[in-house]
Amino acid sequence: MGILKQVAEYLYLRKKDPNDHPTQWMKYMHGINRLSIILFLIALLIIAIKLMTS
Q: What is the separation of C-alpha 16 from the centre of its chain, rounded to a whole number of angstroms?
A: 13
Residue 45, pLDDT score: 96
Q: How far is CA 36 from CA 11, 14, 28, 54, in A?
A: 11, 18, 12, 27
Per-position DSSP letters for 1-54, written without gaps between them: -HHHHHHHHHTTSSPPPTT----HHHHHHHHHHHHHHHHHHHHHHHHHHHHHH-
pLDDT tens digits along 1-54: 577 777 777 676 666 667 777 788 888 887 888 889 889 999 999 999 999 998
Residue 50, pLDDT score: 96
Residue 49, pLDDT score: 97
